[in-house]
Structure 1
Amino acid sequence: MKLTPLFLFFLFISANSRAQTIEVDTLADQIYFNGEIYTMDDDRPMVEAVAVKADSILSVGSKEGIMKLKGDKTQLFDLKGKTMIPGLIEGHAHLYYLGVNLLEVDLVGAKSYEEAIERVAEKAKNTPKGEWILANGWHHDKWDTQPTLINGYPTNKLLSAAIPDHPVILVHASGHIIIINQKAMDIAGINSKTPQPDGGEIIKDLNGEPTGILNEIAGDLVYKYLPEPTKEDVKEAVTLALEECFKNGITGFHDAGSGGYMVNLFEEMASQNLIKLRLYVMLRGTQPELLKYSFKRGIQVNLYDNQLTIRSIKLMADGALGSRGAWLLEEYTDAPGEHGHVVTPLKDINKIVKNAYKNGFQVGIHAIGDRATREVLDIYESTFKTQSSNGSKDARFRIEHAQHFDPADILRVAELDVILAMQAIHMSSDRPWAIDRLGEKRIKEGAYIWQTLLKSGAKIVNGTDAPVEPLNPMAGFYASVSRKTLKGMPDGGYEPLQKMTRNQALKSYTLDAAYAAFQENDKGSIEVGKWADFTILDRNIMTIPENQILDTKVAMTIIGGDIVFDDKKTD
């Protein structure tokens, strides 16, 4: 087309007008400055200031440059030396049960069985007779004194004597084993003649009588008698969990296994802007109709103003190490002849994985023992080979927990591009007794081997498995870089060569966690165009002495430019 002088004149006028409009429109809504700002962008790891427009990052750079974007209505946030990082992402936890745990009896930190029972008995005083009482978080390996144990676990005799008129369920910190009192056993009809369920165990004494301990799938024998919570009860629990996330600086959350009811509720709440969190939901693989419906519907990405994504499926291969349910290649060191439990038949896992791959869904499989992780890797590898006719897909399949590997399987993780959702806090919590389960050789060669896996090219996503562990990401960060318990033991940390660097630990809570949810282009780092999701801390976790990390507090939590938590100390 021939450009006449008149046309060029109008083009010049139009361009100038457009530039002025852009200049006005790009004034920042918010500017954050005067702090230590870590971006997780390798090309620009730290900046002086960040500008936000609507729900996204407008610009990052020098304070002088960013202040040029200030307008009359721009909010200025003087960080006053605080530390700003990309919004923290919880890589594996259970949102609803986190809320439920806040409503029920908390047994975390109990020093003995007697103390745990006292907490439950106190609840029973104000609970009508016959109503169920649930309590969470006991861990006998952490008690200062031990009661009489059968097969390594306490019995329900003390519990039944202390609370005879209420059916009681005490859930282990791992969530994989429970103690029920005699009242609950009577309701469930559990006695010496009750057959052992597949994938679980009713612990019995030498006379063949049940002790009240139900391991893995055996818990379903009593869970089915619990009254269904009302919708209001469930929403209350979710709301409490969301508040807990915001207080802990969590802006994204990988929900590790929700059924159809919860998925519908999440959608309802998100449609009313009641979630706010970047919620990444894994569908519960034990619900065939849910999977059938979801495959037909297809993946659901960034629904309701980016609050909700549904594109993953959660399965269970084995149990937990604490309950000796983790599936091992060799027997447990402290339980000769025991190898753990297969929670879901491998043929069922294989079928679901292949259907998920075909339909574009991610899969995350709970696998803790080395036999379980090997079987999962085998299924993933087989899927990629046999389904290649459907075209290569960016599957990003995951292993949830991945606590124990046989050395022969370590390199396979990166080769298959499998993501590992490994909760560092589990090492801190479990390592003092895990050596009894696995022995020194297996602990050193294949358990909680973060640095070995990272050097092999694998991606690690951090988190807490809340409510199994407290949601606090600073505890997870501390465990990652120190390899110590939360009491600071031992000096130098357990297997110190496996420590993460602070940058690796932060990446596992931000950019790599975003990648595991296919959202690395939207969040996980402070870069132009990404969502304005930030966590502001009262001190610099990248430089402070290691023993101060656990004292770090969240000052503000920002999601999409909205302040969802403010401790008022940034004013």
Structure 2
Amino acid sequence: MFKKWTGVLLATALVSPMAALAQGPAQTAQAPADGTGGAEAVQPADQVLTNGIVYTVDRNRNFAEAVAIRGDKIVYVGSDEDARKYVGKNTKVTDLQGKMVLPGFIDSHTHASKTTGLIYSIDLFDGGSMEEYVAIIKEFVKAHPQEPSLQGRGWSNPVAPGIGPRKEVLDEIDAKTPIALTSDDGHSLWVNSAALALAGITKETPNPEGGIIERDPKTGEPSGTLREKAMDLVLKKIGGYTVQQYKSGIEEYQRRAVERGVTTVRDPDMLRYPNVLEAYEELAKENKLTIRFRNAVTANPDKGPEQIAEFVKIRERDQYPLFQVNAVKIFMDGVVEGATAYLEKPYEHKETNGELIWDVDNYNKTAAAADKAGFQLHVHSIGDASTRIALDGMEYAQKQNGAHDARHSLVHLQLVNPQDIERFQKLGAVGIVQPFWFMQEDGYYDEIEVPYLGEERAKKEYPMKSFLNKGIHIASSSDYIVTPEFNPLHGIQQGITRIAEGETDPGKIANPDERATLPDMIASFTIDGAYANHVEDITGSLEPGKKADLVVLEQNLFAIPAAKIKDVKVLLTMVEGKEVYHSQKETKK
């Protein structure tokens, strides 16, 4: 795909996106990092990429042609002509032949370590009906006859709406071995009778605080689905994966990530599951991490501010270049499909506002303690009432500790009261959204979101442009493995179109006023993702002095229809100047 640069380089310049589409862009260039101003000979670079469409995503959203890299950093971004100064006898020069270069993509909320479950447990993501789920489970059970318990993930709530899938279905497959299968969104657990017995869950067992034991409407017996905190009653008994299994899962995630151009992520699952943190630590010590992780430890709602001291110790010991813990994850509420997202007004289909997982006073004090210790809050919030309470806690922390550059973030934001958007700006809060979900998805919108929320609320889901219009930083993410295919290019497309693939009816555009532009979406997966993770000083844009994290794409995203963006191929991914993915390994210097 790439050839060695041999010809005379064209002399064009860094230009803005609008100027790039016009005739005769102005001639300007970005100064090299050597402090020479470009007027004298400079130290040769290790690598020079030329003849490309380089979208820098810098402050002025400039375009360029060439990038020079020395060691792990970018030393020059600008014209092909000036890039020649960086070419020495040992410099690897790559002619991009007009291919596009972007900063490496940043996924600001992804459960990378949960790839482990796809390797070592029942994978239901490819199933779309109860019959298909049963076939997958039977095949796995047959192949693993000696397992003391069986775990898996990936069943979809629309397949079994209401109280969820039943225990009897699993009992018919295996009534003796405990089976626990997490839903694709991670907020519900489908179990058999053996799993319920293992956890001691009976008709008399009350719902735990922040959780729901779904029950048969006639008998009151547990029906086989557990929501939110009720999941822990079973999961704590069954146990998890080993450190070595998690290491294998994280390494497999890295392989998938670099194929998609992802170079920095936040995994928010530290401490929520045993052995995850230890797996990351061992991989960091063994130099087996190939992308950058800025992870979050999950706070326990049954504890309070006292747990922050433990988090500080974790942060202090985990200061590796590619692995650090800098945030505290808070599960504030659940999800709409489980009727556990916490809403200002009750659900349409049942008399409940949902489930608030944290006691408000405890959350406020824990938030203030985390803020004082220098942690960023990373709050799961789906419902509008939940988001308001989350912002209240951030405001409480600010009053206790004084205003500073905290960048506390709220993740998901399915429903947001417009008045609270203003509060994001006042508090310096960051929104982390999943544009992959910005559509009226078959099975969800008509069968769950509209019946559960009512049409008026359903039409206002997933705001994004409203935040951007107020100057609020919005970072995009996949929430993998909830979103099994986490290619950022797909997310970029969905954030622009907000319509399901192949759908042509304009009435099917989800909340059309919230459609973002291509520059908006690229920024959300690059520089705004870097800002959200406190790494914008080293990555997120292509500028001298920053780490050489970049991705080369087969096509110029600005020159193709938005509906074609997800199909663009990633050709090359670099992290800190190292080639971590190449679509054609046989390429020669």
TM-score by length of structure 2 reads 0.86
Unpaired runs of 5+ residues, structure 1, are: 1-17
Q: Which has the higher helix share?
A: 1
Q: Which amino acid aligns with 2:155?
A: W
Secondary structure at the aligned position of 2:558 is classed as coil
Partners of 2:570 and 2:393 lie apart in 1 by 41
CA distance in 1 between partners of 2:204 and 2:231 (Å): 17
- Residue pair 1:277, 1:559 contacting (<8 A) in 2 also: yes
Pair 114,489 (structure 1): closer, same or farther in 2 beyond 3 Å? farther
Quote the residue 1:361 is aligned against. 375
Among 130, 135, 140, which residue is 2:152 paired with? 135
Structure 1 range deviating more: 77-86 or 416-425? 77-86
In structure 2, C-alpha distance between the alignment counterparts of 1:308 and 1:66, rounded to whole Å:
33
Rounded Cα–Cα distance in structure 2 between residues aligned with 1:540 and 1:127: 48
- Give the letter for the 1:222 counterpart: V
Distance 1:512 1:57, change over 3 A: same
Question: What amino acid is the match of 1:481?
Answer: I
Match of 2:408 in 1: 397
Match of 2:17 in 1: none
Structure 1 residue 199 corresponds to structure 2 residue 210:
yes
State the partner residue of 1:559: 575
Is residue 441 from structure 1 mapped to residue 453 from structure 2 by the alignment?
no
1:132 Cα offset (Å):
2.1
Corresponding residue for residue 240 of structure 1: 252
- The amino acid of 1:211's aligned partner reads S
Partner amino acid, structure 2, of 1:495: N
Q: Secondary structure at the match of 1:256?
A: coil
- The whole-number CA distance in structure 2 between the counterparts of 1:395 and 1:506 is 24
CA contact (8 A) 1:170 1:178 kept: yes
Deviation string 1:386-409 (CA, Å, 9 cap, x unpaired) is 322xxx321111111122112222
CA offset digits 1:249-295 (Å, max 9, x no partner) = 11000112311843343233212211121100111112777631333
> Is the CA contact 2:163–2:214 (under 8 Å) kept in the aligned structure 1?
no
> Does structure 1 residue 65 correspond to structure 2 residue 65?
no
Partner deviation per Cα, 1:79-116 (whole Å, 9 max, x = no partner): 23322110000110112113323443222242211111
- Cα distance change, pair 514–346 in 1 and its aligned pair in 2 (3 A): same
* Aligned equivalents of 2:421, 2:406: Cα separation in 1: 19
C-alpha displacement of 1:364: 1.1
Q: Equivalents in 1 of 2:567, 2:118: separation in Å? A: 24
Give the aligned partner of residue 10 of structure 2. Answer: none
CA distance in 2, matches of 1:487, 1:291: 48
- In 2, are the aligned partners of 1:480 and 1:505 still within 8 Å (CA)? yes
Counterpart code for 2:132: E
Q: Does 1:291 align with 2:308?
A: yes
Between stretches 514-523 and 503-512, larger displacement belongs to 514-523
**Letter matched to residue 282 of structure 1:** A
Q: Which amino acid aligns with 1:185?
A: L
1:514 is aligned to 2:525: no
The correspondence of residues 215-234 of structure 1 with structure 2, limited to 5 A, is 215-234=227-246
Give me the whole-angstrom Cα distance separating, in 1, the residues matched to 2:315 and 2:133: 45
Cα pair distance change 1:511/1:269, threshold 3 Å = same
Q: Distance in 1 between matches of 2:119 and 2:570?
A: 20
User: What CA distance in whole angstroms lies between the structure 1 residues aligned with 2:350 and 2:538?
Assistant: 49
1:6 aligns to what?
A: none
Report the equivalent of 1:11.
Answer: none
The one-letter amino acid paired with 2:200 is G
Contact 1:299 1:311 in 2 (8 A): no
Residue 101 of structure 1 contacts residue 467 of structure 1 at CA under 8 Å; is this kept in 2?
no
1:182 aligns with 2:193: yes
Q: Please tell me the residue identity of whatever aligns with 1:560.
A: E
Task: Identify the residue that residue 315 of structure 1 maps to in structure 2.
Answer: 330
Q: Which whole-Å CA distance do the structure 2 matches of 1:519 and 1:559 have between them?
A: 14
Superimposed CA distance per residue, residues 462-489 of structure 1 (whole angstroms, 9 cap, x where no aligned partner): 0111111122212211211110124546
| 1:406-445 equivalent positions in 2, closer than 5 A | 406-428=417-439, 429=441, 431-432=445-446, 433-445=448-460
Q: Partners of 2:57 and 2:549 in 1: how far apart?
A: 13
User: 1:433-477: CA deviations, max 9, x gaps?
Assistant: 4233222222344x2111111112211110111111122212211
- Give yes or no for the alignment of 1:327 onto 2:342: yes
> Unpaired runs of 5+ in structure 2?
1-34
Bigger drift between 41-50 and 54-63 goes to: 41-50
Query: Which residue identity lines up with residue 108 of structure 1 in the other structure?
Result: F
Q: Check conservation: 2:167, 2:225, Cα contact below 8 A.
A: yes
Give the AA of the match of 2:185. Answer: S
Specify whether residues 241 and 44 from structure 1 end up closer, same or farther in structure 2 by C-alpha distance, changes over 3 A only. closer
1:266 paired with 2:285, answer no
The corresponding residue for 1:80 is: 97
Counterpart amino acid of residue 246 in structure 1: V
Q: Which amino acid aligns with 1:552?
A: V
Amino acid of the structure 1 residue aligned with 2:409? R
For the 8 Å contact 1:49–1:66, the answer to whether it is kept is yes
Please, which moves more after superposition, 184-193 or 87-96? 184-193
Classify 1:133/1:542 alpha carbon distance in 2 versus 1 (closer, same or farther; 3 Å). farther
SS at match of 1:292: helix
Is 1:530 matched with 2:541?
A: no
Residues 479/570 of structure 1: CA separation in 2 closer, same or farther (3 Å cut): farther
Question: CA 1:319–1:548 in 2, change beyond 3 Å: closer, same or farther?
Answer: same
Contact 2:459 2:510 in 1 (8 A): no
* Compared CA separation, residues 267 and 297, structure 1 to 2 (3 A): closer
Aligned mates of 2:536, 2:157 — CA distance in 1:
40
CA distance in 1, matches of 2:156, 2:437: 13
Distance in 2, matches of 1:347 and 1:570, equals 59
* Structure 1 residues 35 and 384: CA distance shift in structure 2, 3 A: same
The 1-side partners of 2:151 and 2:558 are apart by 40
Structure 1 residues 481-516: Cα deviation after superposition (integer angstroms, max 9, x where no partner): 110124546546222221110110010000001001
Q: 1:511 to 1:564 in 2, by over 3 A?
A: same
How many residues align? The count is 539
User: Residues 52 and 292 from structure 1, CA distance in 2 versus in 1: closer, same or farther, beyond 3 angstroms?
Assistant: same
SS in 1 for 2:65: strand
State the identity %.
30
Q: Give the match's secondary structure for 1:27.
A: coil
Q: Compared with structure 1, are the counterparts of its residues 82 and 166 closer, same or farther at alpha carbon in structure 2 (3 Å cutoff)?
A: farther
- Pairing of 1:361-510 with structure 2 (within 5 A): 361-388=375-402, 392-428=403-439, 429=441, 431-432=445-446, 433-445=448-460, 447-470=461-484, 471-488=486-503, 490-491=505-506, 493-510=509-526
State the partner residue of 1:15: none
Q: Secondary structure at the match of 2:54?
A: strand
What residue identity is the alignment partner of 2:383? G
Q: Which range moved further: 488-497 or 68-77?
A: 488-497
SS in structure 1 of the partner of residue 366 of structure 2: helix
Measure, in 1, the Cα distance between the counterparts of 2:243 and 2:267: 19
Q: CA 1:298–1:97 in 2, change beyond 3 Å: closer, same or farther?
A: closer
Q: Is the 8 A contact 1:327 1:341 kept in 2?
A: yes
Measured after TM superposition, the shift of residue 569 of structure 1 is 7.5
Q: 1:426 Cα deviation (Å)?
A: 2.5
Q: Tell me the CA shift for residue 543 of structure 1.
A: 2.7
Name the CA distance, whole Å, in 1 between partners of 2:382 and 2:550: 32
- Aligned with 2:134 (options 104, 117, 126): 117
What do you get for the CA RMSD once the two structures are aligned? 2.4
Equivalent residue number for residue 3 of structure 1? none
Q: Could you tell me whether the CA contact under 8 Å between 1:300 and 1:310 is conserved in 2?
A: no
Aligned equivalent of 1:157: 168
